[in-house]
A and B are shown apart, each in its own frame.
Chain A
Amino acid sequence: MIGEIVKQLIGLIVDDEFLAAGVLAAVAVAGALAFLGISPTWLAGLMLTLALPAALAFSVLRSVWRARRPNRRG
């Protein structure tokens, strides 16, 4: 039962690996921009504001495309 509970707890935050990877990549890039002084912090904020909805949209579109893809085995 403990293994099942742990598995479900991980499932609370990771459902679609593509979305989770997109979120972490966006935060990592914004963090690098902010902490390495490559750009002003507002640019890191703008990057997050654009990248996160984009990651959500791509994840949804990918799921819809996979669900509606015709079965090749017919």
Chain B
Amino acid sequence: MTKEPKPNDTLLLEMRQIDKSFPGVHALKNVSMKLNRGEVLGLVGENGAGKSTLIKVLGGAHPPDAGKILIEGRLAHIPSPTAAQQAGVSIIYQEFNLIPDLTVTENIFLGREKTRMGLVRASEEHQKTLQLFKKIGISINPNARCNELTVAQQQTAEIAKALSVNAKIIVMDEPTATLTTQETERLFAIVRDLKSHGLGIIYISHRLDEIFEVADRAMVLRDGEHVGTEDTNNITREKLIEMMVGRPVESEFPKRTASPGLERLRVEDLCRGKAVRNVSFSAQAGEVLGFAGLVGAGRTETMRLIFGADRPDKGRIFIDGKQTNIRSPCDAIRNRICLLTEDRKGQGLVLIHSCRENFGLPNLDRFIRGLFLDQRKERKEFSGFVESLKIKTSSHEQLTMNLSGGNQQKVVLAKWLARNADIMIFDEPTRGIDVGTKYEIYLLMNRLADEGKTIIMISSELPEILGLSDRIIVMHEGRVKGEITDVANTTQEDILSMAIA
């Protein structure tokens, strides 16, 4: 199945028969893996397959119930993230561990400040940071505060931080989820560079193109089990997907026949600071309207104005031809608009509350009976969605923080579907979500459009935009750069050239 075992000195990391259970979930079942020096190992699998758990075991966040970790042939005891760092393991999580108010340099040296007589030697740190940046060819101002950086820049800062502690093994969890195509290319260059220096890299991604481009081998997990590890040169994309989902998959995007109806939403001259400048567009009933553009092009900001999450400086919003004043999300919901935010954990869910409570939150007005909540009705309705969306939870009362990304997104979907809004805005609906669930979400969006709803979808994945939209609006630096009506004859390059220039 795998390659010939290499001589032991090239073997960097070995995880032997790792087993881990959480209450109600057997997350890892006797999973073993090997990582060589100078190798990129792609780790793939659907949400909840156990990728994150495996990485957290390696990173010291979860102690395994059974199994061993060997680094360079020696047994490694990793009870905490600090121990992992000392053992040479650096993990770059999806949610960055940078402190927003500190500068890049301060973050890189956080906890290991260069000091003399108790005082921080800022200039030395600055120099070291510059050297490091030069080595991996990035150009960020080391004195910039992290909250001023783009997502891509934050990520490179994280990589620099990992390198600065002499990591031997770097784990990247969905590193490209929020990157543009160019930024992704730059990241791959860095990864290849790290590889040539003899580091071992574990690369987790749902984007299989990337796995094939950057990884040497791909390791597939499904339901906590190790399904197999394959040389990326010897396996096809279809075969890999089949291993992940456990059944053959025909197409990545469902077929779509557009039948737009009347104009439902019209936005005129919407402005807010520099983020949104004179944005005008309209969306019809029964249409999927895609919003393309680089990260920071003002797409999310525009949608937040429509949803009342922020107040516009000026501009008008018409719903069904009538000018509507939307001053808060409450107003928007009353006008049958809903927004599924890109940041599920920060804005979509109350993580410390249960699935049912999160589901109920925007729907409580419908569950009122007299003075009180009819919790039986709430449970019953949620059960329906658990079934139809195939949400994997141990119970309705499971905390949403304990769900996998895909299931979290499904809870968010459920809470808004129950609202039965006419205008549904999806902001990066499939970010960090596995192939199987992605397809389910695509089908759902299609169905909603067929039912006559207006679907607005922001996505940074061009194939997704092209595969799903009836019409595409491209934004750049807060402005609408152009509109594409003939989606079938448009290529990724066409959109990209509009989005960049």
Tell me whether A and B are bound partners: no
A interface with B by C-beta (< 8 Å) = none
